[in-house]
Structure 1
Amino acid sequence: MTAAAMAWQGRVFGSVADVLRSRGDDAERGQALVRLVLVPLLCLYVVPKLLGSEDRAEIWLKLTVAYLVAYIPVSVLLYRDIVQRPGQFHGRRLFGMANDYFCMLLAMAVGGAATLPVYATLLWVTLANGLRFGPRYLIGATAAAFVALGITYYFNSYWRENPDMVLTLVLTTTVVPAYVLTLITRIHKAYHAAMEANLAKSRFLAQASHDLRQPIHAISLFTSVLRDAGLGPREVQMVDNIDRSLESVSRLFKSLLDVSTLDSGRVTLKVEPVAVQQIIDDVVRQNSQAAQRAGVELRPVASTVWVETDPSLLATILQNVVNNAIKYAPGRPVVIGCRRRGQTVSVEVLDCGPGIAAEHQPHVFEEFYQVRERGDRDVEGVGLGLPIVKRLANLLGHAVALASRPGHGTRVALSGLPIAEPQLAEREQQVVRPASAMDGLRVLLVEDDEAVLRATASLLESWGCEVDTSTTIPETFEDCDLLITDYDLGGGVTGKECIGVVRNMQQWNIPVVVMSGHDADRVRDELGDPDIPLLTKPVRPAELRSVVLASALDARA
């Protein structure tokens, strides 16, 4: 195979791979855009040739010129319709293809030798239809090309006088699309095999993350109970060390679950007006302990700006960026704030750490890539934080950029957040409530994992709660003030059914707390009640305590 042929094959493979990754309406829009350019260029070449032809079939010449010129506004209308009504409309595609081939047929059939180069356009359009729309369209387009060649041969005296040329065109129209069809079929198979392998990886990550979260969740709760068991200073320090290690493992599993959720395509956007300061405050609060241990001072910059975005995904993005800054810039301040840029906002995180060398910066958003130099200290994590940031930013339609100078620090900026009007209803401020509100609180705890059940019950009892436990939806139980349930209870039963049964038996909307190790967005959608608190495993004891405390006051209000 020649170098030119290899290069052409590489371009074909690349084009097919791009099309396979794109949506059908994007492919149709691309074809319509090519038509907008191609039809005027074809007219500029063919019309002068026809008007200057010595073959004076006046009526056919006039009809052909009129059709070619009229097809320009038709192409514009086709493109406009695709933009306004995106989607896969086969009738619209066939209409465009039929007009394309009729246009090229007229040019070749009415003209003589001068319009022979139109055949190159015919072959290009045939291959483009196959590459954009798939094997069936390639076969149909090739059949249309053969029809155009046959009619041209019948009406064009120059073609009849040169049968060897016509045979060459027919062979080219046979061999090239057949070769491209083989490439498309192979790439389809390879693409689907790669997609299946990717989905299998995502399923494995999701299942492994969930299965490992359960024991880690239980260990975290047990250590919290152990800390309040009258230990000496040395033992308390050991418990703290265990907690820190569990926190690191918990972050790793959260990253794995985030990746598997993104790979599965289950992430749904819930764009709404949100105060940037609320998101920043939440992220600072969640990272305060980790920052304190690392000697990092988190410095949020006050802001009153509101933006249109998904608050949950924005919080996840900032959480990953701030966590990276704490890990790689220990003992240094980290600034979190935002800047107005016209009608958009840029949310930025700046640290005063060692910075990132120039050769590493193009790769930091690649999965599992870690900046490591000889003699560097070990840093927790597997290189998923910034890749998740990049993918979530793309999903939201925002841009993320990293700038760093070795020895001066790193800045990560999320830009393109549209400014929104401030909302009148500010989020209710959290109030610190006395722990005595939980004394005697009757809790029904439903959890299918025995270890997690024992750990959660022990922790609740240490806070003064009276706990009734069950591994399935209980048929009978004592009156209770609060229901805490896992979401996946086994046997196809979920926390949603558990909530319905318990509330029906209690005859009132008993407060509920749901815990889950699965995708939080999926669980929230299935619950269908935004007022039910949802805690993602492994749950931090302080987080559980805060939610139970709030529910206790609601139950006794």
Structure 2
Amino acid sequence: MALINPQDSLERQNEKLLKISEALMRRVEYGSEQSSAAYAQFERAALLEKQVRERTTQLERTLDLLHESNARLAEANRETEAARSNLANAIETVHEGFALFDPEDVMVMCNTRFCRDFRDTLDMLRPGLPFGEYVDRVSRSRYLALPPDETHARWAERRIRRHQDRHVMFNAQLVGDRWLQVSEHRTPDGGTVILQTDVTDIIRLERQERDRLKDKQAQMIRATLDHLDQGVSIFDEQARLVGWNAKIGALLSLPARRLHLGASFPVLLGHIDGELSFSKGIDRDGFRDWALSKEPRKPLSFEVSHSDGMVLHIFGREMPDRGFVISCTDITAEREAAHRLTEMNEILEQRVMERTLELEDALNAAERANASKSRFVAAASHDLLQPLSAAKLFISSLADKCPEDDDRAILGKAESALSGAEKIIDALLDISKLESGRISFDVRPMALREVFAPLRDEMGILAARKGLDLRIVDSGLVVESDPAYLRRILQNLMGNAIRYTESGRVVMGVRRVNGAARIEVWDTGPGIAKQDQNAIFEEFRRLDATASANEGLGLGLAIVERACAKLNHPLRLWSEPGRGSCFMVNVPVATLPHQVTHAARPGPRPQRLAQSGLIALLVENDPALRRAITILVESWGVNVIEASDADSALELLIDLEITPDALLLDYQLGNGMNGLELFDAITSRLGPLPGAVISANRSEPLDQFCQSRGLEFLPKPLDRHRLSAVLDAAAQAQGRTGRP
């Protein structure tokens, strides 16, 4: 309860406040403890009055806000009702039937045109109608015209299935030849809008236009059929004639009165000339069965022949509506031309066969000549290597006994000339092997440094003689190739570079390109013109006409090209006249870790053979070479027992009753055993012995046979260092075994 009535005037309120103030002052001055408690209660009452007043003010403000919100809500409701009314009026003015379903497929609203054509469903059209019930009622409406093979349940099921799509549009046929187009569209919130449009007029116009086009197409088809040079007949799904041209009757000798609309195919087939004979595995009955088949027909093609020589090609094909088309073409001229062409082909084939036999004879003769040439080259090379090897060994023996520098220089030149002849013979042998196609390669992982190191020593001397700067960039790559042939390829390329470079330098290095090692040989020589870059790979072709025969016969690059082709190592050339050349060989890099086989290099000349007391058995059928080997080996302090063939060697060992410390056996000993067979015969009687087989046959199988028996293979011409290495190894084996 307030101490002051708010309804009083300000004067009356001030008067009451003054009286209250005086009373309070008196109580303060003269009051007791009881009056102090009363004053405290008064203070609390005043504080409560203040709080009540504040709460009253807040409540009044809240009520004002509530009144304002209610006013706005009422305004919004009025606007919503107005919008709903406007929407309903707008929907009502739409010429199509309109209905809106919410995301739960429940009808929200529709206009009066919706389902107007299904008058027996109007009583159900109200908000809250489920979509499934709407479809069910429409499917059972008597105003919906369904196809003969369609049921109400199946139509409703398909309609519900299509409702799952985001956009749906289809035409529904009504009774009385009327059509309704129904389209569905999804709203952003997942609802569905359905529009129903009467398209009866459009369908009827399209039908009229289609009929008109059919009439026009029928006229065009008739004109086309009459214009064709083929006979054509068209049958419907019941095998009845619906279209034809006059040509079909003329070709099949059908009377004009038989060709009429609706004529049966079997009847027409029966009136076809009986003198026609069918071909390609079909007869009249088969043709009739194809036309009357209830299964899908495959295209049919065959020929018929008339007794007067006319040939017709018949072709049949099924149409999409199960009808079929039969065409008939006169191919008499084509068959006669084909017959004449066959006769001409037979004549030509006979001539070609005759020419082929002549070419085969010429080819066989060429192959025999080539084989004879290869055998001649191999045999001649072998016969040349025998005296050549003897000459080199004689010169080597003389070189050790000539103290005079002039004599040693002359012997060096002679040995150089013999080495040049040896290189020419080796080149001829390589060309012969590569052209014969019987060569086999030993392709295996190999370290490039094992090839580069000996080439550096060998080519360094040649480059130093010409004052050239030779540089071989070492590489740690391991590649897949044949070590001997790769060395031969690079040796030829570097030899050519040094031979034709007068000043400057020669460089060999390796680049990695696309998983392969590209070995490049650069020089600063005169270069090769574009028109000559193919000719340099031909046999016996040298661009430098002033070069002597000692510098080769022009076989080096021919060997390089053939060996690269056989090894599948791509070979490229870059050259520019006046700047130099670069030959590039691509070798595949070994991708997996392999055990790299290092080529064995011949050791130095043995120094202690004279003190070893070594006895060597030498079997060589060539007297000059046998004598040369004997002189050279005896100059090293080795005792030599000589024999010319296998039988003499075996008899000599029996007579002397001695076991040699080393065996030096020629492979080709003439009649009787060869070197390997002789080795087996000796070791079977005397036990294992070290030694070597000497031969001009450098084939891989012979080398492998020697390795399998623990023998060294020494190719002719003999290399004195390799020969001394064999004897030194035998001397060391003698020391380990303690043989006297």
> Normalising by structure 1, what TM-score?
0.68
| Residue deviations 1:224-249 (CA, integer Å, cap 9, x gap) | 11011133111111101101101110
- 1:253 counterpart letter in structure 2: I
Paired residue type of 2:637: G
2:251 aligns to what?
none
Provide the rounded CA distance (Å) in 1 between the counterparts of 2:446 and 2:462: 26
Higher normalized strand content (fraction of residues): 2
Q: 1:388 maps to which residue?
A: 559
CA distance in structure 2 between the partners assigned to 1:331 and 1:222 by the alignment: 37
Structure 1 383/109 Cα, relative in aligned 2: closer, same or farther at 3 Å?
farther
Q: Is structure 2 residue 617 aligned with structure 1 residue 444?
A: yes
Aligned to 1:491: 671
Amino acid at match of 2:515: Q
Give secondary structure in 2 for the equivalent of 1:398: coil
Q: CA RMSD in A?
A: 3.3
Matched, 1:454 2:627: yes
| Residue 695 of structure 2, aligned match among 510, 516, 538 | 516
Deviation at 1:291, TM superposition (A): 4.5
User: Given the alignment, which residue of 192, 211, 222 partners 2:394?
Assistant: 222
Partners of 1:55 and 1:206 in 2: CA distance: 79
C-alpha distance after superposition, 1:282-338 (max 9, x if no partner): 333444554454445543211111111222221222222222223223565432332
Give 1:122's aligned residue.
Answer: none
Which residue does 2:362 correspond to in 1? 190
User: Residue 264 in 1 paired to residue 444 in 2?
Assistant: no
Q: Distance in 2 between matches of 1:320 and 1:55?
A: 80
Q: 1:328 to 1:441 in 2, by over 3 A?
A: farther
Change over 3 Å in CA distance of 1:153–1:221 after alignment to 2: farther
Highest Rg: 1 or 2? 2
Shift of the alpha carbon at 1:524?
1.8
Secondary structure of the corresponding residue to residue 724 of structure 2? helix
Aligned partners of 2:729, 2:667: CA distance in 1, in Å? 20
Q: Deviations over 1:81-117 (max 9, x none)?
A: xxxxxxxxxxxxxxxxxxxxx9xxxxx993789xxxx
Distance 2:419 2:660 in 1: 32
Q: Which residue of 2 aligns with 1:464?
A: 637
Partner Cα distance (1:296, 1:241) in 2: 22
Counting only pairs closer than 5 Å after superposition, residues 33-432 of structure 1 correspond to structure 2 as: 54=232, 110=301, 158-160=330-332, 164-296=336-468, 298-329=470-501, 332-372=504-544, 380-424=551-595, 427=598
Residue identity in the other structure for 1:469 = E
Q: Is the 8 A contact 2:604 2:721 kept in 1?
A: no
Change (3 A) 1:240 1:455: same
SS of alignment partner, residue 401 of structure 2: coil
In 1, Cα distance between equivalents of 2:235 and 2:358? 47
Q: Distance in 1 between matches of 2:722 and 2:602?
A: 14
**Which residue in 2 is equivalent to 1:544?**
723
Cα 1:290–1:216 change in 2 (3 A) is farther
Could you say what secondary structure the match of 2:534 adopts? helix
Equivalent in the alignment of 2:227: none
Supply the distance in 1 between the matched residues of 2:311 and 2:550 (Cα, whole angstroms): 73
Identify unmatched segments of 5+ residues in structure 1.
1-51, 59-101, 103-107, 114-151
Report the secondary structure of 2:557's partner residue.
helix
> Structure 1 residues 416 and 227 mapped into 2: Cα distance closer, same or farther (>3 Å)?
closer
Structure 1 CA distance for aligned equivalents of residues 584 and 573 of structure 2: 6
SS of the equivalent of 2:665 reads strand
Contact 2:390 2:624 in 1 (8 A): yes
Please list the CA deviations of residues 45-94 of structure 1 after superposition, one character each: whole Å capped at 9, or x if unmatched. xxxxxxx9958999xxxxxxxxxxxxxxxxxxxxxxxxxxxxxxxxxxxx
Preserved contact between residue 343 and residue 419 of structure 1 (Cα < 8 Å): no
Structure 2 vs 1, CA of residues 178 and 430 (structure 1 numbering), >3 Å: closer, same or farther?
closer
d(CA) in 2 for partners of 1:242, 1:111: 87
Tell me how far apart the structure 2 counterparts of residues 335 and 549 of structure 1 sit (CA, whole Å): 37
| Aligned counterparts of 2:690 and 2:707: Cα–Cα separation in 1 | 15
Report Cα offsets for 1:389-444 as digits up to 9, x if no partner: 11111111111122222333222111142434454566387695673342222211
- Residue 501 (structure 1) aligned to one of 681, 690, 698: 681
What is the percent sequence identity of the aligned residues?
A: 30
Query: 2 CA distance for matches of 1:377 and 1:111?
Result: 77
Residues 472 and 294 from structure 1, CA distance in 2 versus in 1: closer, same or farther, beyond 3 angstroms?
Answer: farther
Q: Deviations over 1:435-486 (max 9, x none)?
A: 3342222211111111000101111111121111111121142222211111
Letter in 1 for 2:506: V
| Counterpart Cα distance in 2 of 1:502 and 1:294 | 51
Task: Specify whether residues 348 and 532 from structure 1 end up closer, same or farther in structure 2 by C-alpha distance, changes over 3 A only.
Answer: farther
* Range with greater deviation from structure 2 (534-543 or 336-345): 534-543
Taking the aligned partners of 1:57 and 1:196, their CA distance within structure 2 comes to: 70
Equivalent pair of 1:159/1:165 in contact (CA under 8 Å): no
What letter matches 2:669 in structure 1?
Answer: L
The verdict on how the C-alpha distance between 1:163 and 1:225 changes in structure 2, with shifts beyond 3 A counting, is closer
Q: Is the 8 A contact 1:220 1:541 kept in 2?
A: no
Note if 1:529 corresponds to 2:712: no
Q: Are the counterparts in 2 of residues 306 and 422 from structure 1 also a CA contact under 8 Å?
A: no
- Secondary structure of 1:436's counterpart equals coil
- Amino acid corresponding to residue 470 of structure 1 in structure 2: A
- Report the secondary structure of 2:512's partner residue: strand
| TM-score, length of structure 2 as denominator length | 0.52
Structure 1: how far apart are the matches of 2:540 and 2:677? 39
Give secondary structure in 2 for the equivalent of 1:410. Answer: strand
CA drift at 1:197:
1.3
Between the two structures, name the one with larger relative contact order (CA 8 Å, sep ≥ 6). Answer: 1
Structure 2 unaligned segments of length 5 or more: list them.
1-229, 237-279, 281-298, 305-309, 315-328
Following superposition, the deviation at residue 382 of structure 1 comes to 1.2
- CA offsets, 1:333-365, max 9 Å, x none? 432332211211112222232322333212111
Q: Partner amino acid for 1:556?
A: G
Contact 1:307 1:419 survives alignment (8 Å) = yes
Report the AA paired with residue 406 of structure 1. P
Judge conservation of contact 1:353–1:409 (CA < 8 Å) in 2: yes
Helix, strand or coil for the counterpart of 2:669? coil
Change (3 A) 1:433 1:226: closer
C-alpha change, 1:220 and 1:110, in structure 2 (3 Å) is same
Cα distance in structure 2, aligned partners of 1:240 and 1:493: 37
Q: Is the 8 A contact 1:442 1:465 kept in 2?
A: yes
Q: Please give the alpha-carbon distance, in whole angstroms, between the structure 2 residues aligned to 1:444 and 1:257.
A: 29
